[in-house]
Structure 1
Amino acid sequence: MSQGPGPTEVPARALVKGAVVLGAAAIVSKLLGTMQKIPLQNVAGDNVFGIYNAVYPLYITILVLATAGFPVAVSRFVAEERALGRPDGARGILKMALKLAVGTGLVCFVLLYFGAGTIASWIGNRQTEEALRSVSFALFFVPALATIRGYFQGIGQMAPTGVSQVAEQLVRVAVMVTLLIMLVRADASDSLIAAGATFGSAAGALAGLGVVLLYWRSHRLRERGLRPVVRPDTTNGPRVGYGRFIAYALPICLGAIVLPVLTLVDTFTIPRLLARSGYDEVGAMAQFGLYNHGLPLVQLVSMVVSSMSVALVPAISEAKASGTLAAVRGSAEASLRLTWLIGLAASAGLAVTAMPLNVMFYKEAEGYGVMMILAFTVVFSVIQIVSGAMLQGLGAERATVLHLLAAALVKVVLNVWLMPIWGIAGAAVSAVAAYAVAAALNVYRLRRLGFIRMPWRDYTWKPAVCTLVLSLAALAVVGAAEPLLTQAAPELSYRWRMTVIALLAVAAGALAFALTLFKTGAISAEELGAVPKLGNKLVSLLRKARLLRHRN
């Protein structure tokens, strides 16, 4: 006899709704987290911006080590316990995970707070010491926050995670900006201002924890009001012990730490290499700040372009499990081609408009040459993300980790080699090379597995023509708009003129690229329609505009 649904089973419609809520919240929180760096530089300057960007990757790496595996492990084992009708066992999983997470967080806090001076000496800049201590307080709250989020995901409730993510980022940005303004007005030192900025992470984590605890209280009240359904062969305690839980969570931590390590390479190499080139601590951090001008824009574009990878992982995993892998190859190849095309466009557009964008966001043109170089990390980073998602769906996660480690090694070697010659421009070149290596290795692995084909003609001359047209259109706007604006609106400040020029150039380049893309047949209706979730809607829209054609 088949059993009816348990009390904690979640309808499919609710799962879809929860996934949409979680995805939207993740985008909003990432957007806030990325763009909050711009007011930081505007208010405090490049030296503080450099200190912040030296400290934050280290904090993220430690945070990943302390918490990355806990939400996934908690959600999995909680879901198992609840499916067996064991709510007490699910709560036991949460208690066990909280002990581990909070204990790990406290250990990491002690190491970071009391080791701040030593770590600052490893970075090669004493100005980072106060910011390291400031950000360490977030480790009191984030492990518990991540663990409770995992519990709610395990019972199919995504709203607590989504709402707490947005609340965390909003409070983090609000506290950071408030402290920035107060400390700048008080004429505080750059190291203290940077510490105020990093303290926003602790305040945001506390706010996020407060939100999930409110959800937890509501959840417990509801549970107490319901009569629990427990199967006769169950016991109250969790079936999973500390050993099995850690064995499941640890590989996830190690896998998640690889990408932050790629960013962390710059923290421990760029300031030291700049010091060897003759910069003092303030000058080195100002240069590091200039280097980081382009990264928020690169990260934002990468986040938007690679969003299609979310749909790829479950589709490929399901197809592999059901033996229908060939059916999703077309979608995977179309997604990879579209990612390549949009990544090329984004890289070229950012490079061509680097100067006006730099002025628009950072008040001055200094450092725009480095931004031009860093723009080309976009195309390789989005390819790496989407191809990595495909490998994950195929069960080859280890390959992605090894490829990112190889990229980190390339970054170290090229930083050491190129920075004494070109300064921060050398670091930018090494970043492009590192992401190119990771992307190339992922694609090579997918080809070896026989999952994708990559006819080189589809990835070369037509995309090159489209990118050239985009670049010429944007350059034409950049070259022609400034004298016209100066004459038509002389009252506009330099920054406002550059803002108008940047927006017009981006719009002109995007329009030129889209028209050329579809008119040359660089992508067809069939290929675009094969992209998961997004394709058919775009096809319908573009056919109404008579821009799409079938491939011959």
Structure 2
Amino acid sequence: MKEHVQKVGGSKLLKGAAVLSIAAIFTKLLGMLQKIPMQNIGGDIVFGIYNTVYPFYTILIMLATAGFPTAISRFVAERHAAGEEAGKREVIRMASLVMTILGVGGCLLMYFGAPFISRLIGSNQLIPALKSSAPALLFVPLSAALRGYFQGLQDMMPTAVSQVTEQVVRVAVMIILLLYLSGLGSTDAVIAGGALAGSTAGGIAGLFVMLMYWRSYRKHEGTMLGATNSPSRGASLPEQGQGWPLLRSMLSYAIPICLASLAIPLISLVDTFTLPRLLRESGGEIETMMAVGVYNRGIPLVQLVTMIATSLSVLFIPAMAELKMKGDHEGIRRQSTVALRWFWLIGLASSIGLAMLAKPINVMLYGDDVGSGTMAWIAWTAAPGALVTVSAALLQGLGYAKAPALHLLMAAAIKLVLNVLLVPQFGDDGAAIAGIAAYAVAAALNLALLLQRAGLALRVRDALLRPGAAALALAAALAALRLAGAELPPGRLAAAVEALLGVLLGVAVFTAAVLRTRLLSEAELLALPRVGPKLLRVLRRLRLLR
């Protein structure tokens, strides 16, 4: 009977993890791709305003929510396992109180502080967008608290459904308001404010879904308690598990997670507070926001690569933790080597492909080739970004969770300094080059720590020479395609054909080059968690491996 319960619990946890992963991938993908119709409808100025305000909004959301759902889930899970129903209610009561206070505080700061924040950033065009996004902070934190509660019960479906609903409603309302306000001939600042208002609509929708799940859960819980007619075991909850002691314990658990989660968006926040002010030295306010919009054209493409890398890298965290627990040092070295090689190849191929196809991709997605050079520079953040992602996951699996966050904080500082030095001289290109350097430093620091802790030996042939040969083959194939594409008529359709053919050709050539240079062996493919054996069967079926 006990074995059956363990199997059921494990199965539920795995299914929940799969549900959350699918929901996260969908919401991130939709969140990135929605920027393309936004630029197409609103133009580069609206796009620039949106991308200047959104990182600041994201930081406030993370300050109000990051870490707390995880803390809530842990404390709820402990009390649920002990049958302490009153303890579970106390956790959600205290957490909801704190997160509501944080949300209201963030909302007031963003709404009434909009003029001050816009002056700090260097553009009055941002005020409507800042005010439009502020009300979302009234709803998103409470949703996060309820999500953490259900995750503590190992019920991931409410979180997944509310996340997807929130994102779909946000994007739908954003596009509707973009079309409506553009049709009215509103100013760019007002149109951008309408786009950010989608965040409030999405927050309301996400909270509504969570409240429906909460109502159903409470009704079911009341029925179960009435049927058993037994008092809650939570009545004997110790005093230190309630009130301020409970809140203090939750804060001590949530704050480090919150600080670590702020590291990644901090690099984007550097651009928010430096790029408009630095670019304005060479142009007016409208021209500055247009330049910011052009700069942000290439970022969703790199984020798509990073999202894929993030989704794949989570597979390595439990695998590495298990190997460490078993004391399997050879397994740790093998797993780390394979992961680093895979993500280095994915990032390198993505950077080369996006850089060489920047112009047709730019025309295909945004209607013109303005900023194609900047997009090509930004493409080169994909390779170090992929290494940052996988090395952080490997380090977390080995128990080093704080180091990757500290390295990203150092990268943000480097980004700040280089922005100040390069943007006045090179404009958008300078900001892109600063991003490459920042991510490269974070990747190098992560790799140095991982090489030391996992006992890895870096071989130049495997790390640089053979990947370099595959990269040259890819670059040559894409260069030939670009020469042939010069004969195509101008326009988005021709650009789309060239870009999509380039992607297909690049994948085929790079895969063939990797296999021909034996960068990946069958044993290394098998070492990939879960996906390795399936991928090996596909490659054998295609006769790419013997």
Q: TM-score, normalised by structure 2?
A: 0.95
Supply the distance in 1 between the matched residues of 2:288 and 2:139 (Cα, whole angstroms): 32
Supply the distance in 2 between the matched residues of 1:499 and 1:396 (Cα, whole angstroms): 43
Mapping of residues 343-358 of structure 1, within 5 Å = 343-358=347-362
| Partner in structure 2 of residue 523 of structure 1 | 520
Offset of residue 40 of structure 1: 0.7
| Partner in structure 2 of residue 248 of structure 1 | 253
Letter in 1 for 2:249: R
Task: Select between 41-50 and 393-402 the one with higher mean Cα deviation.
Answer: 393-402
Note if contact 2:71-2:250 (Cα within 8 Å) is conserved in structure 1: yes
| Partner in structure 2 of residue 235 of structure 1 | 236
1:391 and 2:389 matched: no
What per-residue deviation string (whole Å, max 9, x for no partner) do you get for residues 105-126 of structure 1? 1111111111110000010011
Percent identity of equivalent pairs: 46
Q: Which residue of 267, 282, 286 maps to 2:286?
A: 282
Mapping of residues 289-438 of structure 1, within 5 Å = 289-438=293-442
Q: Which residue of 38, 41, 45 maps to 1:40?
A: 38
Offset of residue 325 of structure 1: 4.5
Offset of residue 548 of structure 1: 2.5
Count matched residues: 539
Q: Which runs of 5+ in 2 are unaligned?
A: none
Higher helix share: 2
Letter in 2 for 1:159: M
Letter in 1 for 2:544: L
Letter in 2 for 1:508: L
Q: Which residue of 272, 276, 285 maps to 2:277?
A: 272
What per-residue deviation string (whole Å, max 9, x for no partner) do you get for residues 504-525 of structure 1? 1111111111111101112111
Task: Select between 313-322 and 345-354 the one with higher mean Cα deviation.
Answer: 313-322
Supply the distance in 2 between the matched residues of 1:96 and 1:10 (Cα, whole angstroms): 31
What per-residue deviation string (whole Å, max 9, x for no partner) do you get for residues 229-261 of structure 1? 778685258825111111111111111111111
What per-residue deviation string (whole Å, max 9, x for no partner) do you get for residues 34-89 of structure 1? 11111110001101100000000000011111110110000000000000011221
Supply the distance in 2 between the matched residues of 1:546 and 1:84 (Cα, whole angstroms): 55
| Partner in structure 2 of residue 261 of structure 1 | 266
Q: Which residue of 83, 92, 95 maps to 2:93?
A: 95
Supply the distance in 1 between the matched residues of 2:105 and 2:448 (Cα, whole angstroms): 40
Note if contact 2:32-2:300 (Cα within 8 Å) is conserved in structure 1: yes
Letter in 2 for 1:262: I
Note if contact 1:519-1:548 (Cα within 8 Å) is conserved in structure 2: no
Supply the distance in 2 between the matched residues of 1:159 and 1:456 (Cα, whole angstroms): 46
| Partner in structure 2 of residue 540 of structure 1 | 537
Letter in 1 for 2:172: A
For the residue of structure 2 that corresponds to 1:531, the secondary structure is coil
Note if contact 2:85-2:234 (Cα within 8 Å) is conserved in structure 1: no
Q: Per the alignment, do residues 230 and 78 of structure 1 end up closer, same or farther by CA in structure 2, a change over 3 Å counting?
A: farther
Mapping of residues 151-162 of structure 1, within 5 Å = 151-162=149-160
Supply the distance in 2 between the matched residues of 1:100 and 1:357 (Cα, whole angstroms): 45
What per-residue deviation string (whole Å, max 9, x for no partner) do you get for residues 180-226 of structure 1? 00000001011100000011111111111111111111111211221
Letter in 2 for 1:74: I
Q: Which residue of 116, 119, 122 maps to 1:118?
A: 116
For the residue of structure 1 that corresponds to 2:314, the secondary structure is helix
Q: Per the alignment, do residues 237 and 431 of structure 1 end up closer, same or farther by CA in structure 2, a change over 3 Å counting?
A: same
Supply the distance in 1 between the matched residues of 2:310 and 2:476 (Cα, whole angstroms): 26
Note if contact 2:100-2:138 (Cα within 8 Å) is conserved in structure 1: yes
Q: Per the alignment, do residues 83 and 501 of structure 1 end up closer, same or farther by CA in structure 2, a change over 3 Å counting?
A: same
Q: TM-score, normalised by structure 1?
A: 0.94
Offset of residue 451 of structure 1: 4.2
RMSD, aligned α-carbons: 1.9
Q: Per the alignment, do residues 499 and 112 of structure 1 end up closer, same or farther by CA in structure 2, a change over 3 Å counting?
A: same
1:174 and 2:172 matched: yes
Supply the distance in 2 between the matched residues of 1:353 and 1:406 (Cα, whole angstroms): 31
For the residue of structure 2 that corresponds to 1:460, the secondary structure is helix
